[in-house]
Amino acid sequence: MERLTGIGVSPGVAVGPALVAIQRTQVLRFPVGPDGVARELSALERARQRSHSQLEQIRRRIAAARGADLAAIFDAQLLMLDDPILVGRAAAVVRNERVNAEWAVQRALDEAAAVFDDIDDPYLHERKGDLHDVAGRLRMNLREDKGGARDRLQDLDAPCVLIADELTPSVVAQLDWTRIKGFATDAGSRTYHTAILARSLGVPAVVGLHDVSRRVPPGASVIIDGETGDVVIDPTPALWQEAEGRATVSRFAIVAPEESGPLQTMDGHPIVLHANIERSDDVPSALGAGAQGIGLYRSEFMLVGGPPDMAAEDEQYHVYRQLVERMEGRPVTIRTFDVDERQLARPLVDAALDARWFPEPQRSGHAGLRGVRFGLAQPRIFKTQLRALLRAAAHGPLRIMFPFVSSVQEVRDARTLLLEARQELTSRGIAVPEVPVGIMIEVPSAAFTASLLAREADFFTIGTNDLIQYTLAVDRTDDRVSNRYEPLHPAVLRLLRQVRRAATHEGIPVSVCGEMASDPLLLKLLIGCGLREFSMTPGAIPMARRVVRETSARQMVRVATRVLTLGTVEEIERYLEDEIAKNEVGSEG
């Protein structure tokens, strides 16, 4: 038995086997039963075969377009898929430790990468990048094989407690609280935003444990006491029995499935919830979660393994058409390619997957020739995509969205290329419907000139992740300053209000996309700020629907008005926490 003491931030007791989540690598680690080992090994082999086929296809496409010399770059990755250093080692970890395959791949990668770190030869040292690429592809294919995090939780034999290095509010919002009884994290404090969210959910939580994610084996019996801050690993039978008697049931633990369709606050204000997706295959999960449309389709994810000029018009058209048709008349917003030139200069790395799957040292920067800037710099590639989008719009309600806009001139130039793409289709005898064109507000220059941009666009989508990062000059991947990434910073909230007012004045729709929309506490505040459309990952939608139905827009307008007068994040968090708790007590009474 081992007892750790942290900061109890949400009262109550949770007991169960440990599910370990390492957020930095986006990997869940959990035990599997004897029967599950064969299933994980089969999934690993399917992922290896799928990865091999993908790399072979990429190699052929590169050879045809760029020549055999460049295509040979992928030979090393193909060899790594057959080398026991990665897949073989991962299989051994699954068999010996009885853990899920995705975690085993991460474990094998960490071990192999450490070997490359000790090699002085520059050429061999650079092969570490190949290793990360292959592991990222394996993890991607394992996830496609096993579904989302909520689906993977169904593999657990019983409800569990979550042990993590860190938890963002948006991740908390996606968790299935019928399967998770409470959580403990390495990071955090009493004013940690996730701690506030835990209290509003009624979920026992302990934070600030420093290394609990490394000290708790997957599947170990764990007791979490959110009152005392104690976390007990492998407790005695007597202590376990006593804790079970005190165990707390989350107020969200038992919920009826939410119906899709129109949604409104408790005082009758309509709210629209859309889904953010990467593939047309994600449509069933989005609709199943209650999404009323697709608010963001990340088109760059179709570029796996190659640069944009290899995505032909017909190929893109079929992807977009399939997406629109699967949504059966619901609106679909497709963002044009959001990649940057440094990603494209590295053919070994899947440009579109770089930021999602690969560790921080392998990531490209985000302030270069990216988004609409890249499209304007590469008009041939841009117009190919625009033609495909315009053709797909004939099959259902499709909207085109330009990312990373920073000026009115960029919007005008992009619209000029869109007009040229339309004329080219017309000259080919293809009829094109009118298509709404919007922009993402992601940088301060766009937010400050929102009143001007609103005259050039049919709709706004506020990309909160980048807007917060650029407004506060904070890189979320830099541990030295990541704690300064504050969605509740007064500057961020005032920019959101400014953008919403500009859109309202010009009569165009405005939606919020990003982690802010996925956070139940912030969702309430955003409703109070007058925002009515939100787009988020499908896993966050069911909880968001519940939050909306429990929210009084009138009360939150009063709260938001007060929040916008406060000067610090701490003051805002404290006030929000008090007001939400007060409203909940009032509604219970």
Would you state the pLDDT for residue 25? 52
Catalytic residue among 160, 366, 489, 513: 513
Q: What is the pLDDT of residues 55-80, one digit of tens each?
A: 888 778 767 766 777 667 678 888 88
C-alpha–C-alpha distance, residues 564 and 566, integer Å: 6
Among 35, 160, 31, which Cα is nearest to 93's? Answer: 31
Please tell me whether the overall predicted TM-score, pTM, comes out greater than 0.85 for this model. no
Q: Kindly state the helix (H) or strand (E) to which residue 409 belongs, with its residue range.
A: helix 408-427
Would you state the pLDDT for residue 354? 36
- The whole-chain average pLDDT of the chain stands at 84
C-alpha–C-alpha distance, residues 444 and 495, integer Å: 8
Q: Are 250 and 177 in contact (CB under 8 A)?
A: yes
Would you state the pLDDT for residue 514? 84
Would you state the pLDDT for residue 433? 95
Q: What is the pLDDT of residues 397-426, one digit of tens each?
A: 999 999 999 999 999 999 999 999 999 999
Categorize the per-residue pLDDT at 152 as very low, low, confident or very high, splitting at 50, 70 and 90: low
Q: How many CB atoms lie within 10 A of CB 315?
A: 12
Per-residue pLDDT, averaged over 142-148, amounts to 64
Can you list the domains of the chain with their CATH numbers? 2-27+156-246 (3.50.30.10), 31-150 (1.10.274.10), 269-512 (3.20.20.60)
Q: What is the pLDDT of residues 272-323, one digit of tens each?
A: 999 999 888 889 989 988 999 999 999 987 775 556 666 889 999 999 999 9
C-alpha–C-alpha distance, residues 123 and 125, integer Å: 5
State the helix-helix crossing angle for 569-588 and 193-201, rounded to 10 degrees: 0
pLDDT at residue 136 tops 50: yes
Catalytic residue among 193, 274, 366, 489: 193
Of the ranges 168-177, 346-355, 421-430, the best mean pLDDT one: 421-430
Q: Kindly state the helix (H) or strand (E) to which residue 372 belongs, with its residue range.
A: helix 372-377
Categorize the per-residue pLDDT at 361 as very low, low, confident or very high, splitting at 50, 70 and 90: very low
Query: Which burial class, exposed, middle or buried, applies to 256 when counting CB atoms under 10 A from its CB (0-12, 13-18, 19+)?
Result: exposed
Would you state the pLDDT for residue 199? 74
Q: How far apart, in Å, are the Cα atoms of 254 and each of 178, 314, 425, 588?
A: 6, 47, 53, 17
- What percent of the chain is predicted at pLDDT more than 70? 80
Q: Is 42 helix (H, G, I), strand (E, B) or coil?
A: helix
Is residue 210 annotated as part of the catalytic site, yes or no?
no
Is residue 193 annotated as part of the catalytic site, yes or no?
yes
